[in-house]
Amino acid sequence: MLPEIEQLLILQDRDRKIRLLRQEQKTAPLERKALEDKLTSAQTQLESVRLKAKEIEVERKKLENEAQTVRDRIAKYQAQKFQTRKNDEFAALSHEIERGEKDIQSIEDRELDLMEAAEKQKAVISESEKQTSAIKAQFDRQTADIDEKAKAITAQLGEIEADRVKLAEAVEEDLRDTYDRLIRSKNGEAVVGLQHDVCSGCHMKVTPTTSSKCRSRKEIVHCENCARILYWED
Ligand SMILES: [Zn+2]
């Protein structure tokens, strides 16, 4: 193999690694975001079930006050009932008292329903709290892993990039320019093997002249279809 080809293949290997590490670097914030979203959604859910419990409590207090108002009214009517001497007024007050008692019964029924709902909501909150704290623990653990991994990738990238600079410096300038242009335009594949006269970059058959030049391993040969640099693969 031509020494230049060997140099370029090592360079290409480093470029491939750099590209992969940069891609991995991009996934870290996305993974973090997904975990954050999951946690936020659990916290929002918890807030909403807690709010529901508060609403039930407010409603229950309201009914309690309502019942008290009716009780006060009944007490007032009862006092009036014993003072009156008029039959029709007595009858009217008795009727009002009876109606008030019915109202209290219906308010108390609604209070019971709300107390039952409050009990159920307590269980819902407890389940939601459990879920949220599990998700928070998972979030802490996984984001720590992500941060650690990101740090390792940055360190590794730094090393490989430094190595790449040295390797690139050793390549003759014109060839390096050609390589750099190809690596950018050919999706990271600048130097490819020639197998049975077929360029493994574009999968086209090259001319016999190109093939024999490549086989002789004396000069840098390009695929006439895709312009990639070719090397002979036995
Ligand atoms: Zn080609």
Q: Is 230's pLDDT higher than 90?
A: yes
Q: Are 70 and 110 in contact (CB under 8 A)?
A: no
Question: Is the pTM value of this prediction over 0.85?
Answer: no
- Ligand 1: centre distance to CA 15 (Å): 20
- Ligand 1: centre distance to CA 211 (Å): 12
- Ligand 1: centre distance to CA 138 (Å): 49
Encode pLDDT of 85-133 as tens digits.
999 999 999 999 999 999 999 999 999 999 999 999 999 999 999 999 9
Kindly state the tokens that stand for 233.
Answer: 């693969």
The distance of Cα 231 from the centroid of its chain, to the nearest Å, equals 44
